[in-house]
Structure 1
Amino acid sequence: MELNLDSEVLLAFGYTKETATITQIGSGLINRTYLLSPLSEDQKYILQNINTSVFKKPEDIANNLKAIADYLSKNYPDYLFIKPVSTIDGKEMAMIESEYWRMLPFVPNTVSLDVLSEPQQAYEAAKQFGKLSALLNNFDASLLEPTIPGFHDLGLRFEQFTAALTTTTKELKGKAKPQIDDALKHKYILDYYESYSHREDFPDRVMHHDTKISNVLLKAETFAGICVIDLDTIMPGKFISDLGDMMRTYLCAFSENEKDLSKIKIRLPYFEAMVKGYLSEMKNILTETEKELILFSGKYIIYMQALRFLTDFLNGDIYYPTAYPTQNLDRAKNQFKLLHELTVNEKELQDIIEEHLA
């Protein structure tokens, strides 16, 4: 369906409704995304409206991406980093009626997947996220601003959970009692992380922070990895953010919305493919402490997400959209089951890691 946008948005990038067509695309929940097709060019573009309720300072995104793009262009000019196209005024974004817009080149003959269907896809995706981290190994992460402050801060998420316990209703607290007990029982994950957090060989790196499969472009016919996309959350962080999020989203055939917990299982071939792909790029870059924490990264991110769903349920579902009243509680149950599966399979998973570190 062709959509009508404020003509000033198109004009900011040198187009009009007469010189380009625009259609809404994508399944993302954060930014509104459109495909802009100029009538006189072969090149197409992605036009996005930045969600300022999630990203409070869009200019930080623009500055981060420009700094990274400049570094990669200078040091790794052959790497495909999809940086924004400048406005006709030479800016990284356009602001039209208090809304921020940016335009990116569309990469033809590629796909992004919503669901993994074979281990090779996990390998290709993990390799691409690892490759970007490897190329940015010598980039000073402190030059970047956090685009979502505290995004993967487990200490903050635990504080928010305990605060919700004191303000929630007796009814919600009663419904969630087994999951509240689970959350408190697994606090050791936060304590374990904090025991490592100040080690010198546990550095801040440039992390993507949202490594779901849909944020990688693959070749349309072969599914070979091309590059990483959706770069708004690139900011300083620990390596566990990217690897842990891959474990959370790649290892089970079902998402956090699956209510049948018997289906929540670890797929060992996908785990091995993911580890192999990531370490093919990062094996010689990770420090000894980081190598120790490879499997722990999955526990960290899965526990954090379980806490976030549970906290939102206790707060009355004010953050995550829900289709029915207990969905956030069901999501928390799902993530605690995934955490359990990671733990009970720990020896076999660690053996796979050791094999690919050797």
Structure 2
Amino acid sequence: MENNEVAAIFKQFALYGDLQSFKAFGGGHINSTYLSVWNQAGVQVRYTHQRINKAVFTQPEQVVANIRQVTEHIAAKLGTNAGNTPAETGIPISRRVLQLIPTRSGQFFYIDPAGEYWRTYLFIEQASTFEVMESPELAHKVGVAVGTFQHQLADYAGAPLYETIPDFHNMHSRYAQLDAAVALDAAGRLPSVRTELAFLEENRARGMILSDGLADGSLKRGITHNDTKLNNILFDDATGEAICLIDLDTVMPGTILFDTGDLIRTASNTACEDEQNLSLVRCNREIFAALTGGYLRAAGGFLTAYEKSLIAESGRVLTQIMAVRFLTDYLNGDVYYKISRPTHNLDRARTQIALMQSMDSQWEQLLRCVEQAM
């Protein structure tokens, strides 16, 4: 798009003052993001603007509706001090929860002449994200952040949220997709993945525990972020404390163990998600203990006994579901995830399997970590 077209879109939102500049921002793979600077009576204020990817989110208005419901609930709770933690004392609410900016017509998204959906947030200043889990101390803070987010939403009683990506963490659905990919073998790669398929088949039944728990009611349905990786948490530059979860596009109904599991999967892995040297892949038990300790500090008061018993299992399940998804895409010819080498998705799947195997090799110790945290 031309710069004047982009600027015209920004001006559809209720932003006042003079637009000084804007640029592409962030490294996200889904939405297109810009950062703009506005002069408001001599004060510079920044905003982020995102064009929502309709190929991934087929009903963008539902994505925005979910985000609005969740952020307004959290802001209201923070306003009564019900959602505060001691580390957040004195930090303004506008820095602890994303704030959607309405359009000049009062909606919270704008549809441009090409039919693309846009939204705008107030930019949270003096905050940063991390790409690498640097220490158990950081892991503890991350666990507190995710537990606090869940605690803030535990009593949500507003309009039901939309399921913007149906069956996103439904293991039955993901295995059905894998089975279809195996039957079709569209890219002719089936002979090269027999070992991986055998492992995933051996673990098929065990991996269903969260999906089955939601289906039979043994796990309660709540609100989940669904992408609780480290770089989706903002930390205050001055204090180093976690202050806000971002990237709320996948906020949906589900079991909170989806978030706990993804947190464990992404944070406890000692290697990159696409590591080719599998000897580097392991579950760091010290990080795991710090994560679960911080998480239970914030979330332990509203979890059921059954949910607590599945905290370690949730990490294994979410690792398994990503192994299934990566291998499915590899068999289909790499049609979903971006790749930078022919075996990229296979490498990703193998890394997830290696992480599961590392968890299994120290399973009793991981369970004891959770018990000690409780």
Query: TM-score by structure 2 length?
Result: 0.90
Determine if contact 2:69/2:159 at 8 Å carries over to the other structure. no
Residue 321 of structure 1 deviates from its aligned partner by 1.0
Per the alignment, residue 241 of structure 1 pairs with: 258
Residue 8 of structure 1 deviates from its aligned partner by 2.4
Say if 2:346 is the partner of 1:344. Answer: no
Determine if contact 1:201/1:290 at 8 Å carries over to the other structure. no
Per the alignment, residue 309 of structure 1 pairs with: 326
Change (3 A) 1:195 1:317: closer
Per the alignment, residue 95 of structure 1 pairs with: 111
Q: 1:82 aligns with which of 94, 98, 110?
A: 98
Per the alignment, residue 161 of structure 2 pairs with: 144
Per the alignment, residue 57 of structure 2 pairs with: 55
Change (3 A) 1:164 1:142: farther
Per the alignment, residue 148 of structure 2 pairs with: 131
Per the alignment, residue 66 of structure 2 pairs with: 64
Determine if contact 1:250/1:270 at 8 Å carries over to the other structure. yes
Per the alignment, residue 275 of structure 1 pairs with: 292
Q: Which amino acid aligns with 2:20?
A: A
Determine if contact 2:214/2:254 at 8 Å carries over to the other structure. no
Q: Which amino acid aligns with 1:260?
A: N
Residue 170 of structure 1 deviates from its aligned partner by 8.3
Q: Equivalents in 2 of 1:294, 1:306: separation in Å? A: 19
Per-residue CA distance 1:324-358 (angstroms, 9 max, x = gap): 1111111111110001011111111111100011x
Residue 70 of structure 1 deviates from its aligned partner by 3.2
Determine if contact 2:39/2:45 at 8 Å carries over to the other structure. no
Per the alignment, residue 21 of structure 1 pairs with: 21
Change (3 A) 1:88 1:325: same
Per-residue CA distance 1:242-266 (angstroms, 9 max, x = gap): 0110111001122221100000011
Determine if contact 1:7/1:17 at 8 Å carries over to the other structure. no
Per-residue CA distance 1:54-89 (angstroms, 9 max, x = gap): 111111112112222333343332553212111111
Determine if contact 2:187/2:332 at 8 Å carries over to the other structure. no
Change (3 A) 1:151 1:142: farther
Change (3 A) 1:139 1:335: same
Residue 3 of structure 1 deviates from its aligned partner by 5.8
Q: 2:45 aligns with which of 43, 46, 50?
A: 43
Between 1:302-311 and 1:45-54, the stretch displaced more is: 45-54
Q: Equivalents in 1 of 2:109, 2:211: separation in Å? A: 38
Q: What is the DSSP-based 3-state SS (H/G/I as helix, E as strand, rest coil) of the residue aligned with 2:144?
A: helix
Per-residue CA distance 1:167-201 (angstroms, 9 max, x = gap): 00584110111111111111122344455344545
Between 1:292-301 and 1:3-12, the stretch displaced more is: 3-12
Q: Equivalents in 1 of 2:125, 2:339: separation in Å? A: 34
Residue 220 of structure 1 deviates from its aligned partner by 1.8
Q: What is the DSSP-based 3-state SS (H/G/I as helix, E as strand, rest coil) of the residue aligned with 2:24?
A: strand
> Which runs of structure 2 are paired with 1:249-288 in the superposition (5 Å)?
249-288=266-305
Q: Equivalents in 2 of 1:108, 1:163: separation in Å? A: 46
Residue 212 of structure 1 deviates from its aligned partner by 0.5
Determine if contact 2:35/2:48 at 8 Å carries over to the other structure. yes
Q: Equivalents in 1 of 2:370, 2:191: separation in Å? A: 40
Per the alignment, residue 178 of structure 2 pairs with: 161
Q: Which amino acid aligns with 1:57?
A: Q
Between 1:223-232 and 1:132-141, the stretch displaced more is: 132-141
Q: What is the DSSP-based 3-state SS (H/G/I as helix, E as strand, rest coil) of the residue aligned with 2:68?
A: helix
Change (3 A) 1:238 1:42: same
Residue 7 of structure 1 deviates from its aligned partner by 3.3
Count of residues in Structure 1 that have an aligned counterpart in Structure 2: 356
Determine if contact 1:141/1:205 at 8 Å carries over to the other structure. no
Change (3 A) 1:184 1:288: same
Per the alignment, residue 30 of structure 2 pairs with: 30
Q: Equivalents in 2 of 1:169, 1:14: separation in Å? A: 49
Between 1:299-308 and 1:112-121, the stretch displaced more is: 112-121
Any unmatched runs of 5+ in structure 1?
none
Report the RMSD for the aligned CA atoms in angstroms.
2.1
Per the alignment, residue 213 of structure 2 pairs with: 196
Determine if contact 2:17/2:38 at 8 Å carries over to the other structure. no
Q: What is the DSSP-based 3-state SS (H/G/I as helix, E as strand, rest coil) of the residue aligned with 1:272?
A: helix
Q: Equivalents in 1 of 2:208, 2:97: separation in Å? A: 37
Q: What is the DSSP-based 3-state SS (H/G/I as helix, E as strand, rest coil) of the residue aligned with 2:117?
A: strand
Q: Which amino acid aligns with 1:6?
A: V
